[in-house]
Structure 1
């Protein structure tokens, strides 16, 4: 691997750790502490999660509409907001302030995800892209390890501030590595003529967006409540942190593995298998409530959720290689729409029923529907397009 490519890859990983692993997902292992301090109910946690995902949706959607003049400055702005909002969660003690901060964090994380992806994917092979998206898993692993260390005095505010400082270090490294002067965009070969197959391309893309939207709706319920649920079924000390660490450990190398499988099975079937496995992983802990089931669910969730993102983005990029940023933004918009709805419904179901069963089984069913929508919706269209190229 060339030195510049390595710098860009490491910078991209650091950016995803800040925006996704910490900015988006640190809320999950900190949530039980905030609930224990009677700062939030399950419904309140759902409002905060949905506020974050509303910001994510708006950020992704806006990027499909605007012309970006300086990717590096936009990336820098997104990283700064991610860092500031993570630190700020520990400064304020009201739901209204937290709603604003989580919204801004979601907005910034979408910008960082889309812009960093568009910069980094210009230089990487499919296998290297899997390593890049493993940055989300690495960030989750980092939060899982950091939260117990930062929470030694049971002070949730110090956890947010500590993660803010970690984000600052990683964010500076990311921006330095991904500044435009480091990037030499590869020249794309002339695009294939899609005019004769435009309806087929649209069909595949629409099915992919529907599937990815279902994934956003289903997976985020587990992504929000997994750790809190783990505490409700086991007396193992630090099971909340242990389960989240397992998610990170499983997620970090998963994107590479799924990319390798996709080269053999094709992206459609690999995505289908990944989503089926995830639906099983979401359902297992509530159907068999035990520490073992929680750990198994955490591993299956970690193994699949970023692999599904990697494969979905790569699939769309194969369809429209010249519209890299806009296609990623469009997919992320549908994903973000699902993410807004999921925590709201999940939080209300948990609060009303006093149980996680209905919310998590519903989430598993939604992901299952997303898995079926790919082979049933696309059919053999993807094979026909491949033969036509």
Structure 2
């Protein structure tokens, strides 16, 4: 089941979304695409991802979620293949938007369905293994790009990516469990077996009514500041980040289990800030590569731990709070390239954009700290005799 979930992430996130990164220089060289078109293709993909996140917040029917998750797998393959069969920019925009919808299905519906399955089957409600699929997907697209960039034209390369996705879709579909049997009772009813509750406690969470009530009142905007800097333009660099992110998901789960999720999140944010600061101080190849490794390790930890955190707090419908957090993620992905690009045009470099990223990162840590304090204050009355 876990293998099927990881493969699905590779298809719907790794290939459907990140295959565009190594394809940028190929399409620019072959077709002479302008920077504005290249940027817009990325933006509409983010827009599709954001739209999917919003729509998922409105869905509570488990059967519909499963059908949309399966549809996302098919759409990931089709939207990738069709990119190689047209040179119409508007059709590209539509395909990248649809691909973004598929990515939101893989990330959010997939994570929510997996969380429900883990709870229902008395397993540790952790998503580290699941999110390792992002890193694996980035590595797969980077390696594939190196293998096919010389023998094949840009349009053939898109088709090859789609065929790889199709090959992976088969085991992801065949090994997919019956998620419809994982429906959990609504809040206020008995939630899960004792062993599952014990697994919650081992992750520093409790499923008592006061704790759930507290989380329903906790302002989500305190958790929404999470800048997502990325390194674009070179397939090899994206592969380095993905390679480091792959084992990091599991390692962050181990760390948070031992030392607590709050400390793990603080550490992940600190490491992410270090990776940004390194690019400000030194832009040599060695510095960029080390920064990419640290970034890959830290960003996947922030994403997986934060989504798992809110997913455990709302086990009867984990996709909804996950989608709310992802909504802000999508906004940042749409806004940040435009803001940083403007600053780069004005200043002639990315230094000010990186400093701005560090400022937003600091605000995110502050919001995280406020959320922790609010949780502790809300929990005190429930713990008092």
TM-score by length of 1: 0.83
Offset, 1:193: 1.7
The range that moved more, 145-154 or 377-386, is 377-386
Alignment of 1:195-210 (within 5 A): 198=213, 201-203=216-218, 205-208=220-223, 210=224
Q: SS state of the match for residue 11, structure 2?
A: helix
Alignment of 1:1-389 (within 5 A): 8-37=1-30, 39-68=32-61, 69-124=63-118, 125-126=123-124, 129-153=127-151, 155-178=153-176, 180=178, 188-189=191-192, 192-194=208-210, 198=213, 201-203=216-218, 205-208=220-223, 210-211=224-225, 215=226, 218-219=227-228, 221-222=229-230, 226-228=231-233, 240-351=234-345, 353-375=347-369, 377-384=370-377, 388=382
**Deviation digits for residues 12-55 of structure 1, max 9, x if unmatched?**
00110011111122222222333444644444333222211111
**Stretches of structure 2 lacking an aligned partner (at least 5 in a row):** 186-190, 194-206
Determine which structure has greater relative contact order: mean sequence separation of CA pairs < 8 Å that are 6+ residues apart, divided by chain length: 1
- Equivalent residues of 1:127, 1:260 under 8 A apart: no
Count of equivalent residues: 359
**Deviation digits for residues 265-306 of structure 1, max 9, x if unmatched?**
322232222122112213423431111011012101211222
| CA spacing shift, 1:304–1:65, aligned 2, 3 Å | same
Separation in structure 2 between the aligned mates of residue 328 and residue 294 of structure 1, nearest angstrom: 31
- Equivalent residues of 2:49, 2:330 under 8 A apart: yes
Q: SS state of the match for residue 380, structure 1?
A: helix
Separation in structure 2 between the aligned mates of residue 126 and residue 29 of structure 1, nearest angstrom: 36
| CA spacing shift, 1:73–1:243, aligned 2, 3 Å | same
Q: SS state of the match for residue 90, structure 1?
A: helix
Separation in structure 2 between the aligned mates of residue 349 and residue 159 of structure 1, nearest angstrom: 33
Q: SS state of the match for residue 312, structure 2?
A: helix
**Stretches of structure 1 lacking an aligned partner (at least 5 in a row):** 1-7, 229-239
Separation in structure 2 between the aligned mates of residue 73 and residue 54 of structure 1, nearest angstrom: 22
- Equivalent residues of 1:151, 1:158 under 8 A apart: no
- Equivalent residues of 2:307, 2:325 under 8 A apart: yes
User: In the alignment, what sits opposite 2:203?
Assistant: none
Q: SS state of the match for residue 85, structure 2?
A: coil
- Equivalent residues of 2:51, 2:101 under 8 A apart: yes
Separation in structure 1 between the aligned mates of residue 160 and residue 344 of structure 2, nearest angstrom: 30
